A and B are shown apart, each in its own frame.
Chain A
Amino acid sequence: MNQIARTVFIREFFSSLFSRSRYVAFALFHALSGAMFCTTLQLAEGKFWTIQTIWTLSVALPLPIIVSLATMPLFAGERASGTFESLEMLPISLGDVAIGKFLASYLSVLLCLAATLVPWFVLCHVLKSRAPDTATLAGPCTLLILHSFSWTALGTFSSAVARHPWVAAAGTLVMGVSLMLLWSAVSHFWLGGNWLSTSFPIIEEILDASGGHLRLHTIVFHIGFGAVALYAAMRSLEANRP
């Protein structure tokens, strides 16, 4: 990380620590995640899903919401407030700025995810005999870190091309869901997959990871996709610079 990326990273990260809207977003995420966890636990635990599967699903499914809210102000917010123009005028690479902003958002999303482990530890303490060991969370946690990476990169791209923060947030969700549907369609019609697994690849990989199976193609896909999205964000920023 060069000096510009480091400067932007520090500014963005500390700014997010003192941002009221960021805490509202985090609270929303935890409320949604907690509600999903409790509801699914009542309905499905012991029937067809384990506790770690329920936990992973209840964290992974609302993840795009917190990521889209965390990334929406990165560039679109600066455009809306007028500071982006003065940023473009500086003798710096906007790619470095994008890296700094991306890393700051990624770190804040990871911290938010880490907070979801607290109820898990409480659950382990309360349900001594029934709750699995915390080590079984290694797979799901790795998957969530990968998911956060690709979603945050997609959010950074969306914010880099959008003019308004809420458009960026909606764009992140729309692009993410569209890409998942495209992935399902390609998998189903051209790669010989079956409906149950390939129509919902994200569910499939979550179920796999919660069982402790993290596939190589999942790792490669998320790192590759995140890198491409981040590169696209950097290129679009430089291409649209006056």
Chain B
Amino acid sequence: MLEAEKLVRNFGDTTDLAGISFSLNPGICVVAGPNGAGKTTLLRAVSAVDPADSGRVMLDGMDVYSRNPRIRRHISYLSDSVPLYRDLTVEDHLQYRGRLKGLPARRLRARIRHVTDLLDLRPVFTRRTSALSAGQRKRVGIADAMLTDSRVLAIDEPFDGFDADHRALLAKALRGVARHTLVMLATHVFDALDSAQGTCMVLSHGEIASMFAFGGDCADKRPLAERIASALAAGSPEPKDLAK
């Protein structure tokens, strides 16, 4: 379980996170909200890439900000810019990252095969990452993040640059991962997630405007985008049906 307590993050005079608290179990968590609402800052804060100024984040009882190297084993974060080694091929990039993550050779080969099949990366496997399109780069980044079985997988704008087929493919892959991992997605694209099940956290001005469950046997069957829009329009927290 990931628990965040009173997270505050300021950039100069701007407050990106204004004392956010929540707790999340494994599953998909969509972090939505308008530009500047604090989605990326929240993902970076819970992943300890850019820790909050105050507050704390606990992952299964471990303090994420403790600078304990063991905690990094359990958190994967992929930024919007998708940093890849431009001089390497997709295969070499994944091999290198997998070795750094400490995966034994045989397991690494199997994992690379699994994630490349899952994300349809076979056709570009031997191509240099510098020659990939934005969507392909994003898929390589996600494949890298999925190499190990982390407990938190935080991805910023996962569907950027994807066509409809690949959005559906990624959503299916993430649903599989979310069975045992907390998958946090900061996104503006919701259509691919309508068939998924999880929690949606709507941020506005650094605060949680609304947090609700979607998909599965949830009573509200409206599309996710519509529910988020109405939550933002209401400007006040929607009744939380997380208990469901």
B-binding residues in A (CB < 8 A):
3-4, 7-8, 11, 15, 18-19, 81-83, 85-93, 241-242
Instruction: Say if the beta carbon of B77 comes within 8 Å of chain A.
Output: yes
Q: Give A91 to B88 CA distance when docked, in angstroms.
A: 22
B84 A242 Cβ-Cβ under 8 A: no
B69 A91 Cβ-Cβ under 8 A: yes
Residue of A nearest to B100 (CB): A90
A-binding residues in B (CB < 8 A):
47-51, 67, 69-73, 75-77, 79, 81, 83-88, 96-97, 99-102, 144
Q: Give A58 to B192 CA distance when docked, in angstroms.
A: 64
Q: Quote the shortest CB–CB distance from B157 to chain A (angstroms).
A: 15
B48 A242 Cβ-Cβ under 8 A: yes
| A-B contact list, 13 entries, CB within 8 Å | A3-B99, A3-B102, A82-B79, A83-B83, A86-B83, A86-B97, A89-B49, A89-B72, A91-B69, A92-B100, A92-B102, A93-B69, A242-B50
Residue of B nearest to A88 (CB): B49
Q: Which residues of B contact A81 (CB under 8 A)?
A: 83, 86
Q: Quote the shortest CB–CB distance from B167 to chain A (angstroms).
A: 24
B100 A4 Cβ-Cβ under 8 A: yes
Q: Please count the residue pairs between chain A and chain B whose beta carbons lie under 8 angstroms apart in the complex.
A: 56
Q: Which residues of B contact A82 (CB under 8 A)?
A: 79, 81, 83
Q: Which of B81, B85, B100 has the most CB of A within 10 A?
A: B100
Q: Quote the shortest CB–CB distance from A19 to chain B (angstroms).
A: 7
Q: Quote the shortest CB–CB distance from A97 to chain B (angstroms).
A: 8
A85 B83 Cβ-Cβ under 8 A: yes
Q: Which residues of A contact B101 (CB under 8 A)?
A: 90-91
Q: Which residues of A contact B77 (CB under 8 A)?
A: 86, 89
B83 A91 Cβ-Cβ under 8 A: no
Q: Give A8 to B97 CA distance when docked, in angstroms.
A: 10
Q: Give A241 to B79 CA distance when docked, in angstroms.
A: 17
Q: Quote the shortest CB–CB distance from B62 to chain A (angstroms).
A: 13
A90 B83 Cβ-Cβ under 8 A: no
Nearest first, the 9 closest Cβ-Cβ pairs linking A and B are A82-B83, A91-B72, A91-B73, A83-B83, A7-B99, A91-B69, A90-B100, A11-B96, A82-B81
Q: Which residues of B contact A4 (CB under 8 A)?
A: 100
Residue of B nearest to A241 (CB): B67
Q: Which of A11, A15, A19, A241 has the most CB of B within 10 A?
A: A11
Q: Give A83 to B96 CA distance when docked, in angstroms.
A: 13
Q: Which residues of A contact B70 (CB under 8 A)?
A: 91
Q: Quote the shortest CB–CB distance from B189 to chain A (angstroms).
A: 22
Q: Which residues of A contact B75 (CB under 8 A)?
A: 89
Q: Give A93 to B67 CA distance when docked, in angstroms.
A: 11
From B47, B51, B84, B102, A91 is in contact (CB under 8 Å) with B102
B72 A83 Cβ-Cβ under 8 A: no
Residue of A nearest to B144 (CB): A86
Q: Which residues of A contact B71 (CB under 8 A)?
A: 91
Q: Give A93 to B49 CA distance when docked, in angstroms.
A: 16
Q: A81-B83, A82-B81, A89-B72 are in contact. Are A242 and B49 (CB under 8 A)?
A: yes
Q: Which residues of B contact A93 (CB under 8 A)?
A: 69
Residue of A nearest to B77 (CB): A89
A7 B96 Cβ-Cβ under 8 A: yes
Q: Quote the shortest CB–CB distance from A205 to chain B (angstroms).
A: 37
Residue of B nearest to A15 (CB): B87
Residue of A nearest to B145 (CB): A86
